[in-house]
Structure 1
Amino acid sequence: MFLEAIHHRANDQYLYAKDAETIHIMLETKANDIKKVELIYADPYHFQGNQWQYSQREMYKSGSTSLLDYWKITVEPEFRRLRYGFRCIDINDNEIIYTEKGFFNRVPTDINSYFCFPYIHAVDLFKEPEWVKDTVWYQIFPDRFANGDSTINPESTLPWGSEEPSQTNIFGGDFQGIIDHLDYLVELGINGIYMTPIFKAYSNHKYDTIDYFEIDPQFGDKETFRKLIKECHDRGIKVMLDAVFNHSGYYFEPFQDVIKNQESSPFKDWFHIWNYPIKTEGYPNYDAFGFVASMPKLNTANQKVKEYLLDVGKYWVEEFDIDGWRLDVANEVDHTFWREFRKAVKEIKKDVYILGEIWHDAIKWLQGDQFDAVMNYPFTKSAVDYFATQKMDSTEFMDSITKVLHMYPQNVNEVSFNLLGSHDTARVLTMANNNKERLKLLFLFQFSFIGSPCIYYGDEIGMDGGGDPGCRKCMVWNEEEQDKEMFEFVRTLIQLRRDVPAFGNLSNFQFIKAEGNVVIYSKMKGNQELHFIINNSHLQTNITLEHLSNCTVKDIFSNEVEKLDNKAILKLNAFGYKCFQKI
């Protein structure tokens, strides 16, 4: 038994309250080392004489990688408090008791040896917005989606799609253009829009804010924006805006004052300036986003900066009824600010969605006091590396996705923002070497996974493009140039996600097999059981479905019913897929 691989901590994803009555517990062990784990648990005050009256329950293996096995259990303590440990039995029937104080050969009698969940406090619970669990997002880069009002075009506006996108060109996309195409999004099945920044800024991407309280005039005015929100809400579509609180733009008025007045500026402490005079060309002498001089970092510990930005967060929720904030470069802003930000906006609208842009393990921001979720880039990288670029084999893919599923608590996973591509990445079709069959497999996995999926505008009709700025082409509205088959495929996946409980978000996901270029995973919800079989290869292949031998199944894509024999050998075409429902 590899004791050094047995791991648990009484916090984070290992121990948390799912709700006011339920506690989730997870243990890690070395892969294929432990055959059975039992939870030893009871109320810390439940004694008869000197004997602690504990119970034992078997945990289930929720997933495995080549290195680790994960074990989980759900407990509903009668008095909302718990002491607990683990009985681990290896493949040779050796047994060990694991507690906070270490390893024992028998169950310890000292209650202080055990892990502790002191009490479930309702006020401390992670309260995720329920509506996000059923939301399918659509990301819009406003300048490139649709030009609906040419009268507000900046002078430099180019004819729609007349040139390849660059770092500076403008094509006139605006709010009216989005309004004009809302029914297109409804037809696709979208019920959430995420827009990159809309506030007054110098660039075409608007991540260099000039005024956080004003809309950039190239998109429209506040009256048109209010109309957009109403039109979306009337169609059941939520709206999330993008906030850049880590840094401002070069032309942000307080920064311009510092440039003008240097050390005498009343705004000098709004930024992190190293010395004077400040240098705004080349390598700056102040903190910035990266080393981009035109994006000076804001000092969110400064009380006046904090009050200004908190007012921004409240203003757009209170005045325009937006439904979410996506927070740019969120990991570089202090935790104290984010705690105050959450409190401020949730007091106005308790189910507003707070989404952080963090590309790495974000558990520190997901304790229920800062963000509801983060952009799930670990999911993105695994899916793209396996299905699109095929840099990853099936076992590596299964390992990486299993790790993703066990990084965070379940209620965090259920509202995680699962994207394939964005304005920051190459188009997924381009990453898939323009192979649309690979793109279909990407979409299939994304929409059958746990979390809230997001489509980058145009991916559903087969748009391509390299990294920034190539991924920011004008949306293709000429139907003859759209991939209608891809659109219908994505629309079908969205519909299945809504109509078939086990296909959707709130179901149990688990890998069954990774063999050759094939992955098999199951999803279960109540009595409904789905089995996904995906051939990530340009070659036809045969795969044995031992777990479905002698079962009757229905393919939910074709509705064909078949009885598998005891061998249960399935032939899959190149880049083929099946979703079998046991009946």
Structure 2
Amino acid sequence: MKNIFIVISILFTFSIYGCNNVEKLENNVIICEEQEIINLKITKITEDSAKITFETAKESIPYINGQKISEIPLKKHYYYVTNLIEGKENILNLVVDNITKEVSITTKEKGIDYSKNSIYLDNRVFYQIFVRAFADSDGDGIGDFNGITENLDYLEYLGVNGIWLMPINKSKNYHGYDVTNYYELDPSYGTMDDFKKLLAEAEKRDIKIVIDMVLNHCGMRHEYFRTARRGEDSPYRDWFSWSNEKKGLGWEENGADGKYYYAAFWSEMPDFNFNNPLIVSEVKNIMDYWLEIGVDGFRFDAVKHLFEENHEKNKQFWYEMRKSVKNSNENAIMVAENWMESAFVAQYFEEFDMNFNFDLGTMIINTINNGFDCSLVETMKLNYGEFKKYNENFIDAPFITNHDQKRVMSEFLVAKNKMYLERSMKQMKQASVILMTMGGVPFVYYGEEIGQTGKKPDENIREPFDWYKNKDGKYMTSWMKKSTVKEINTIENDGISVEEQKGIDGSLLEHYKKLIHLRKTESLMGNYNINKIDFNNKKLYSYSKDGENSKIIVILNLDKKENIEIDLNEKFQNKKIFDIYNNSVIENKITINSLGFMLLKIKD
């Protein structure tokens, strides 16, 4: 049998030796047919890696340079070859059923700047959606893709131009973080055609969609793990971590064989063993698949946990993931969940476009609840400086709370009566003012904009989105009827619904809408140049967002009872001051109501 030589040069010129039939030479891909290997393709060529895909005449376990590229016999194969020599010819031995073929790959010189962040992130506000709870289009009580598509007008009205969809893959449990098939959608959310329609309609509105990518673990009912747990000779055994004894927290008994597998978060979500190159290759292929479907990027779950014992190894893994994603789509969005202090999170700005800022949300809530300065501005200045050490062009991802935390309204609401509800709505407005005047790309959790409440357990933080005052009507979901946890926060006629707030001057929904639209027109609101202003009153919290010739002034009255008068002339003598929130020129002396705020603009 003749050897096959495939040479791919930096200039994308090709030489083929020993191929009896070349079917195509298209889009820098060679397709070569031979007896043992059919449709051989080499794609995603970088300076040090390439993706090889091919079919074999019969089910086989091929090897490249002695490394298995699958654990079980298959006819279709893909594999990511890494650690190639940059800009050089690399000879690989591809062995199929004891027949060796040589593949020559000439890698690219370094082209893509992997430190470059997505160009699509400027001036965006993202909206986090739990699909099951958001909008039901077909009356089965479960939120779905079509429900989101049919309510893109609402999101446009609000002003958001990015969506983060919580897990949409097939899974066993309601939350979706126990994935049972990474290539399939949760059937209760709709079909692939439904999902593609959502992507297409969002694109028409310039709304970017990122999906949750859960890589640390899968569900125990995934075929990977179902096969792995059958015994040590299982082809997927080494895709997970095993022990002969219970080493401590997270080690779960497998059952009949007496072995233990590692599952950091829950016994039904076994962790992958990313020391195995086969699962690394599989993960890259999963991300390729969804980028080809048309998603704009990923929110990566539990980033720090993949190599929890080896921080440098963890960062190297994510650098490889960044290269893979950016070579598929240079503008794909990558946002990381690292629920850690900011000094730790800072390091991951080398691998991700954005990192969620958990510290900020806590400081926003504490400042407003405590009624005094919690060093928010000073801390953010330090954090921004730390982030910049790792990436000159870092993009922070500020938020207040998300699907794992008590809802922000419940952080403020002492009792659900009229007096406390009115007070908490004011505090929500203050919290959102801080959020929307922080640097980066803000994220809003669905229902936050109308003041939905919710405390642990998690199900009560993820209750149905409240479209109507009577809890009944088109798009209202009822997914919790099948839950063991009772729905307790979605209450009729409590003032917390889209119907009760849309178009109502002074409502929380209209406030969020105004802030989001202001953020798009007033670029200073989203910059990182923040400085504290001291009005010599502990109940006044103020800071500026500074530009070259102007600045935005944020002033909050944290007092729960008293109005406060301020003479702005003491700080800004002879300056023309404009109230950008109320669209008016103001005098030097102003009064800020209890739990009120002002957003001012001053030009030098």
TM-score, scaled relative to structure 1? 0.70
What SS does structure 1 have at the residue aligned with 2:220? coil
In the alignment, structure 1 residue 325 sits paired with structure 2 residue 325: no
Deviation at 1:335, TM superposition (A): 2.3
What are the equivalent positions in structure 2 for 1:247-326 lying under 5 Å apart?
247-259=217-229, 261-275=230-244, 279-280=253-254, 285-290=260-265, 292-318=266-292, 320-326=293-299
The residue type paired with residue 421 of structure 1 is: T
Aligned to 1:513: 534
Distance 1:380 1:413 in 2: 22
What are the equivalent positions in structure 2 for 1:362-401 lying under 5 Å apart?
366=347, 369-387=350-368, 389-390=369-370, 393-401=372-380
Deviation at 1:413, TM superposition (A): 7.5
Post-superposition CA distance 1:15-52 (Å, at most 9, x none): xxxxxxxxxxxxxxxxxxxxxxxxxxxxxxxxxxxxxx
The residue type paired with residue 127 of structure 1 is: K
| Pair 518,401 (structure 1): closer, same or farther in 2 beyond 3 Å | farther
Deviation at 1:560, TM superposition (A): 2.9
Post-superposition CA distance 1:385-414 (Å, at most 9, x none): 212x33x73153333333333331186776
The residue type paired with residue 508 of structure 1 is: N
Post-superposition CA distance 1:110-148 (Å, at most 9, x none): xxxxxxxxxxx9976731113212111000001000111
Deviation at 1:238, TM superposition (A): 0.2
In the alignment, structure 1 residue 537 sits paired with structure 2 residue 527: no
Deviation at 1:374, TM superposition (A): 1.1
Aligned to 2:585: 561
Deviation at 1:500, TM superposition (A): 1.9
Aligned to 1:207: 177
Contact 1:507–1:525 (CA<8 Å) still a contact in 2?
no
Contact 2:372–2:541 (CA<8 Å) still a contact in 1?
no
Deviation at 1:526, TM superposition (A): 3.5
| Pair 420,323 (structure 1): closer, same or farther in 2 beyond 3 Å | same
Post-superposition CA distance 1:460-484 (Å, at most 9, x none): 1221111312111101111674333
Contact 1:339–1:370 (CA<8 Å) still a contact in 2?
yes
Contact 1:372–1:412 (CA<8 Å) still a contact in 2?
no
The residue type paired with residue 301 of structure 2 is: D
Aligned to 1:163: none
What are the equivalent positions in structure 2 for 1:73-152 lying under 5 Å apart?
126-150=115-139
Of 432, 446, 449, the match for 2:435: 446
Aligned to 1:359: 339
State the percentage of identical aligned residues: 29
Of 558, 575, 579, the match for 2:595: 575
The residue type paired with residue 472 of structure 1 is: R
In the alignment, structure 1 residue 193 sits paired with structure 2 residue 163: yes
| Pair 578,230 (structure 1): closer, same or farther in 2 beyond 3 Å | same
Contact 1:556–1:580 (CA<8 Å) still a contact in 2?
yes
Distance 1:364 1:581 in 2: 32
Of 424, 432, 440, the match for 2:412: 432
Distance 2:324 2:583 in 1: 49
| Pair 552,216 (structure 1): closer, same or farther in 2 beyond 3 Å | same
Contact 2:349–2:387 (CA<8 Å) still a contact in 1?
no
In the alignment, structure 1 residue 223 sits paired with structure 2 residue 193: yes
Deviation at 1:372, TM superposition (A): 1.4
Distance 1:369 1:414 in 2: 8
| Pair 285,518 (structure 1): closer, same or farther in 2 beyond 3 Å | farther
Contact 1:301–1:337 (CA<8 Å) still a contact in 2?
no
Post-superposition CA distance 1:161-214 (Å, at most 9, x none): xxxxxxxxxx41111111111111011101000011000100010000101111
What SS does structure 2 have at the residue aligned with 1:286? strand
Aligned to 2:11: none
Distance 1:541 1:359 in 2: 37
Contact 2:356–2:398 (CA<8 Å) still a contact in 1?
yes
| Pair 223,499 (structure 1): closer, same or farther in 2 beyond 3 Å | same
Distance 1:276 1:425 in 2: 34
Contact 2:301–2:336 (CA<8 Å) still a contact in 1?
yes
In the alignment, structure 1 residue 552 sits paired with structure 2 residue 576: yes
Contact 2:345–2:355 (CA<8 Å) still a contact in 1?
no
Post-superposition CA distance 1:341-364 (Å, at most 9, x none): 111110111011111110223657
Deviation at 1:216, TM superposition (A): 1.0
Distance 2:397 2:254 in 1: 36
Contact 2:137–2:144 (CA<8 Å) still a contact in 1?
yes
What are the equivalent positions in structure 2 for 1:134-173 lying under 5 Å apart?
134-150=123-139, 153=140, 171-173=141-143
| Pair 400,508 (structure 1): closer, same or farther in 2 beyond 3 Å | closer
| Pair 280,436 (structure 1): closer, same or farther in 2 beyond 3 Å | farther
The RMSD of aligned alpha carbons is 2.5
Deviation at 1:380, TM superposition (A): 1.2
What SS does structure 2 have at the residue aligned with 1:251? coil
Post-superposition CA distance 1:294-335 (Å, at most 9, x none): 0111011211111111111111012x2211111100011222
Structure 2 unaligned regions, length at least 5: 1-109, 247-251, 307-313, 414-420, 470-492
What SS does structure 1 have at the residue aligned with 2:238? helix
Deviation at 1:365, TM superposition (A): 6.7
| Pair 262,519 (structure 1): closer, same or farther in 2 beyond 3 Å | same
Distance 1:122 1:525 in 2: 34
Deviation at 1:582, TM superposition (A): 1.9
Deviation at 1:563, TM superposition (A): 4.3
The residue type paired with residue 452 of structure 1 is: V
Contact 2:430–2:556 (CA<8 Å) still a contact in 1?
yes
| Pair 367,328 (structure 1): closer, same or farther in 2 beyond 3 Å | closer
Aligned to 2:463: 473
Distance 1:354 1:394 in 2: 33
| Pair 122,176 (structure 1): closer, same or farther in 2 beyond 3 Å | closer
TM-score, scaled relative to structure 2? 0.67
Post-superposition CA distance 1:76-134 (Å, at most 9, x none): xxxxxxxxxxxxxxxxxxxxxxxxxxxxxxxxxxxxxxxxxxxxx99767311132121
Distance 2:578 2:350 in 1: 44
| Pair 276,268 (structure 1): closer, same or farther in 2 beyond 3 Å | farther
The residue type paired with residue 477 of structure 1 is: W
Aligned to 1:9: none
Post-superposition CA distance 1:47-86 (Å, at most 9, x none): xxxxxxxxxxxxxxxxxxxxxxxxxxxxxxxxxxxxxxxx
Aligned to 1:57: none
Deviation at 1:420, TM superposition (A): 1.2
| Pair 551,122 (structure 1): closer, same or farther in 2 beyond 3 Å | farther
Deviation at 1:570, TM superposition (A): 4.2
Distance 1:270 1:229 in 2: 32
Aligned to 2:29: none
Of 398, 410, 415, the match for 1:418: 398
The residue type paired with residue 326 of structure 2 is: K
Distance 2:386 2:466 in 1: 38
